[in-house]
Structure 1
Amino acid sequence: MLAPTLGPTGGPVMSFDAARRKVEVLDDAATTLRRILGLGSPDLDIGAMLLRSTVWRLEQQVGDGGATAVVLLRALVEEGMRQIAAGANAMRLNDGIRRAADVAVAALRRQSRPVTGERSLAAVARTVMQDDDLAAVLGEMSYLLGADGHLQIESYVAPYLERQYLGGAHYGAEINSMYFYSEPERKRAVLAAPAVALLDKPLTEAAHAVALLEAAVATGRKGLLIFAPDVSGAALNVLVANHMQPPDKRKLAILAVKPKAVGDERRFALQDLSLMTGAAILGELGERTAQTARAEDLGAAQRVEFGGNNLVLTMEGARRGLIQTQIAELSGRLAQLPYDDEERPVLTRRLAALTGGIGILKIGAYHQPARDLRRAQAERAWKVLSAVQRGGVVAGGGAALLHCQSAVLDAAAQESETDCALGMRVLAQALTAPQRQILINGGVTAPAVYLHQLAELGAPASYDVTTAAVVDAQQHGLLDATDVLIAVLQAAVSGGAMMLSTDTIVYHRKPQQSLTP
């Protein structure tokens, strides 16, 4: 079912939801396989569910490659079963397959080249979707925002495609009083060069608010931002009364907001804001409290703006050099995490705040299924583009896997154990399957001829189905993400090895329900 969707000539899968009597447009392998609940036979269901789980985990990890993994796994299992039926030892065969996978991964790394600009990134995005305009915009955004850039997607109810770049550190927040708006008609508040107070506990006492005001006045600044879990009661009354004084008598313009984040995410926000502004955290996390605050406990910002439940803080230029260590530490930690790790979105948002870069992608379509499809494509492509910026690119269209074949065969020739060497040759043969399937989907009647030609030319040669010609993949923008292909290869080998080595299957009368495929 998925093999015909592989390559640029493949299209989406249409699924009919009988319960809702609606047709669903599916453009990724993982979601397509999730719609399969059973094949009518327990023996078949075991294999189908293993395949479904493999593809789902793969696309959660790297965002793409499900169809390629299925084609590769199928070829691996078919050839492996044939060899086992002919008398090969399944465990030694598996050992050879896994060794060959390591050789192929090393060969992919040698083929890999860094991306050279937004055109290359857009070319990779086009391998995830058949939408040139959206791919071009995503390529530009990835190039400008970098591998760790934070992308927000907004959906519109009409055909629309636009992007917006936001500077400064952005935090979801709520204003504590409408009186703090400097532009009430627009529900907007702006402070120029304010002092900044960071609190990790609610501000409710009038004496504590007065202490903060006195500390802010002592800094010589004309504004004060209070970032606290809550500001209410007598403290809020004091702040509002001060803020509402006539401009000629008012010493401070005030903006008090409470962050939407809770728990660890709020704690991280306070720590990052402390780095960006130089403010001490007043309360339980810090050594001082609001009641004992002094001028040196407050930080400073170049500009603060609140609107639309969003706080934007622009740090002073002198602070930028001081946060580089934190940026490097977070970037290093992010690079070590799997793409489906729950901590990744938190680290990405923190990096976006510290580096001052957020991209908003605005996409739309007339119908809900089309809007959902474009949004899903953009989310998957963004994962792939992040992987590309870290790991580079290789020839697309299945050619990179094909070009690993010679290295695997050379390693097999040096292996002394017969069945292990046979397992290595099994994977070597399976590596041609994705390129072969793309050729078949493109209407090529003699795929073996082109497979032989590509093998002779070596990397970065590939076959462009849209022009029916063998091309230099790097020059023609026919590219795949190296890290994605490595994940595809490892997922296919893992699933295939399990299928080939399983001897006994135990059926549970009442199997445990799983929340994931």
Structure 2
Amino acid sequence: MPKPAIIFQPDVQNAFQRGINQIVDAVTPTLGPLSRNVSIERNFPGQAPEILDNGGVIARRIIELPDRSDNAGAMWIRHLLWRLHENTGDGTATAAIIFQTVYNEGLRYLAAGGNAMQLRRELEQGLNVILDMLDAMTLPVKTRTDIARLAEATSQVPEMAASLGEILDVIGPFGQLDIRTGRARGYEHHYVDGTYWKSGVFSDQMIRDKLLDRRTLTHAAVLISDLEIQDPHDLVPLMRLAVRDDVNGLVIIAKKISDQIKALIINNEKPGRFDIIAVKPLGSKAADQASNLQDLAFLVGGRPLIQAAGDSLHTVQWEDLGHARRAWADSEYFGVVGGQGDVPVLRQQIERLQRIYHTSTDLDERKDIQRRVGRLLGGSAVLRVAGITKAESTMRKDLAERTAAGLRGALLEGALPGGGTALLACQQKLQGTHGNTPEAIAANRILCRALRAPAQAILENAGYDPGEILAQINGSGEGFDVVRGKIVNMKEAGILDSAMVIKAAARTAITSAALALTTDVLIQQRQPPQSTAP
């Protein structure tokens, strides 16, 4: 068992640097359109290695380094990259390279006697200048052609870019898009009317259409609840309400139902005249289920019956039920089409959530709201992705998810000249900002080198000499197209990056590296907690 220890400077900085460099050096080859892949050995002998080109996933696969002190630095940036991957879907290699440059250059300055806290403040002030510059350079993404060109610049797969360009042009930045593994190699997509959730029937025996593997109810009433229903007699008041209104079917959403109730629904004596299905809670996470029930109520009317609030089937009233022109369920999903909710109230809820989205700084909250707004707007799309092998299918699906996330951000926040060009252009503004202190001067110098580093890595990965190429770039939106091997206007060439992704990468990398530079002591526990997730 490892012994507890307290590590001081300069050992902390040296160990952090070694750990950070190992992670970043593993991720750097994946940056750019002519990037390399990273092969990761499987846990079991005889299995083919995992081939990855995603910086966030590569970092996550590195669970621990042999040296405990080095491991602290490695886990620091591992956590950063995985969180960035979860929140933006892209930009991890760019963030890793910026972080590494800021940290390594910052250590050189501190070794010469610099003040870590003052340097951190100056780096964060410089970041504000960079973000303002990126905002000024941001270009709107409006047409299907713009979306497809950005998708191709991100994925380097024309067929995928065409599909995603059409899909997001139709459903918009908040639209619901489900990317699934397909059966035939390539990309296929279709649109789904209405809204659906991860849910499904309590028993596959409730699905009578075995050809479509789905149960569909027309002109249906919907009980929205998180109740645990045990006694079949508890359904009597609900059934009377539904029959009285002459609806064709009833959907029961519940937290749990007994085997007796399942049997009652499966053995319904009047299929086709009055159909009943019972579906599981909406969403795979308990934390999401309450908001999903509320959103469904906005779509179909009625109100959620909450067990913790004292609601039960004995107290249900007709106005508590929602209604939909069509409701369907299969073993994995539940959806509604033509909900009969109050349209003005629904519109107000959508506008309220969109305001929260645009003002929130919590990336997890923004992702959750984006999903909720997409469902409330209605209209969804499914993209099926497949390759020849399972590994290829996984890589294609992951790339499609990352590309779609970047496109959503671009539709909301615009795009920037790609290939590292936007970050290069920020150098001029920083170089013109003359600080009054040694730390301000050092911070500007460090940030200028960090802004140059992603473009250098893209060129090196493509087999070019960065020094020779970058000396020829004069700014004004110019950059080097590594695929065609010439200097072009990046906007006119359609080589663009999502502004949201680039800003998130710069913000995350610089603030985290600045904080790491102020870490002076490392405390090692006897038996530290283990986790495979950052």
- On whether the aligned pair clears a TM of 0.5, the verdict is yes
In the alignment, what sits opposite 1:463?
480
Flag the 1:223–1:492 CA change in 2: closer, same or farther, 3 A.
Answer: closer
Q: Contact 1:197 / 1:298 at 8 angstroms: preserved in 2?
A: yes
**How much is the aligned-residue C-alpha RMSD, in angstroms?**
3.5
Which residue pairs with 1:259 in the alignment? 280
| CA–CA distance in structure 2, aligned partners of residues 38 and 305 of structure 1 | 46
Alpha-carbon distance, 1:133 to partner: 1.8
2:49 is paired with a residue of what secondary structure?
A: strand
Residue 481 of structure 1 is aligned with which of 461, 483, 498?
Answer: 498
Q: Deviations over 1:332-377 (max 9, x none)?
A: 3444566862x66654554343222322221112222212212222
Separation in structure 1 between the aligned mates of residue 213 and residue 57 of structure 2, nearest angstrom: 41
For residue 167 of structure 1, the aligned residue among 193, 208, 212 is 193
Q: Give the equivalent residue in structure 2 for 1:155.
A: 181
Matched residues in 1 for 2:441 and 2:401: separation? 41
Task: Report deviation, 1:505.
Answer: 4.3
SS at match of 1:431: helix
Q: Comparing 4-13 with 141-150, which one deviates more in the overlay? A: 141-150
Contact preservation (8 Å) 1:305, 1:312: yes
Change (3 A) 1:502 1:276: closer
Which residue of 2 is the match for residue 14 of structure 1? 39
| CA displacement at 1:489 relative to structure 2 | 1.4
Task: Compute the displacement of 1:105 (Å).
Answer: 1.0
In structure 2, relative to structure 1, the CA distance for the partners of 1:319 and 1:457 (3 Å cut) is same
SS in 1 for 2:297: helix
Count of equivalent residues: 505
Alignment partner, residue 448 of structure 2: 428
Q: Which runs of 5+ in 1 are unaligned?
A: none
Q: Distance in 2 between matches of 1:63 and 1:167?
A: 26
CA distance in 2, matches of 1:299, 1:48: 51
Cα deviation 1:172-221 (Å, max 9, x = unaligned): 2316795x767577555443333444454355666654433443344354
Amino acid at match of 2:45: R
Instruction: Give unmatched runs, 5+ long, in structure 2.
Output: 1-24
Contact 2:224 2:293 in 1 (8 A): yes
**Partner Cα distance (1:235, 1:29) in 2:** 49
State the TM-score, normalizing by the size of structure 1: 0.84
Q: Give secondary structure in 2 for the equivalent of 1:162.
A: strand
Deviates more, 1:280-289 or 1:473-482: 280-289
Match of 2:328 in 1: 305
**What is the CA-CA distance between 1:162 and the residue it aligns to?**
0.7
Structure 1 counterpart of 2:298, from 264, 269, 275: 275
Pair 1:29 & 2:68 matched: no
Distance 1:379 1:348 in 2: 15
**Cα displacement (A) at 1:380:** 2.2
**Per-residue deviation, 1:316:** 4.8
Match of 1:369 among 385, 391, 397: 391
Aligned-pair distance for 1:405?
Answer: 1.0
Can you list the C-alpha shifts for 1:79-138, whole angstroms capped at 9, x where unaligned?
334444445444333332221111111111111122122333333334543433223322
- Alignment of 1:91 onto 2:117: yes
Contact preservation (8 Å) 2:423, 2:452: yes
Residue 134 of structure 2: which of 99, 108, 111 is its match?
108
Question: Distance in 1 between the 2:522 and 2:311 partners?
Answer: 62
1:356 pairs with 357, 368, 378, which one? Answer: 378
Within the alignment, does 1:323 sit opposite 2:346 as a pair?
yes
| SS of aligned partner of 1:154 | strand
- Asked if the contact 1:95/1:423 (under 8 Å) is kept, the reply is no
Q: 1:303 aligns to what SS in structure 2?
A: strand
User: Residue type of the partner of 2:464?
Assistant: V
Q: Which amino acid aligns with 2:451?
A: L
Match among 487, 505, 510 for residue 493 of structure 1 = 510
Give the CA deviation at 1:431.
1.3
8 A Cα contact 1:228 1:256, kept in partner = no
- Correspondence for 2:460: 440
Does structure 2 conserve the Cα–Cα contact (< 8 Å) formed by 1:152 and 1:361?
A: yes
Q: CA deviation at 1:286?
A: 7.7
Partner amino acid for 1:320? V
| Cα 1:290/1:39, change in 2 over 3 Å | closer
Match of 2:141, SS state, is coil
Aligned amino acid, residue 66 of structure 1 = T
Distance 2:162 2:304 in 1: 43
Q: Secondary structure at the match of 1:463?
A: strand
Letter in 2 for 1:366: I
Kindly provide the amino acid, as one letter, of the partner of residue 295 in structure 2: D
Distance (whole Å) between structure 1 residues aligned to residue 229 and residue 241 of structure 2: 15
TM alignment of 1:225-236, pairs within 5 A: 225-229=251-255
Given that residues 176 and 230 in structure 1 are in contact (C-alpha distance below 8 angstroms), is that contact kept between their aligned partners in structure 2?
Answer: no
The answer for the alignment partner of 1:389 in structure 2 is 411
* SS at 1:244 equivalent: coil
Cα distance in 2 for residues equivalent to 1:110 and 1:298: 50
> Secondary structure of the equivalent of 1:457?
coil
SS of residue matched to 2:57 = helix
Q: Choose 130-139 or 230-239, whichever is displaced more.
A: 230-239
CA distance in 2, matches of 1:325, 1:24: 47
Map of 1:235-250 to 2, 5 A cutoff?
A: 244-245=269-270
Q: Counterpart amino acid of 2:470?
A: L
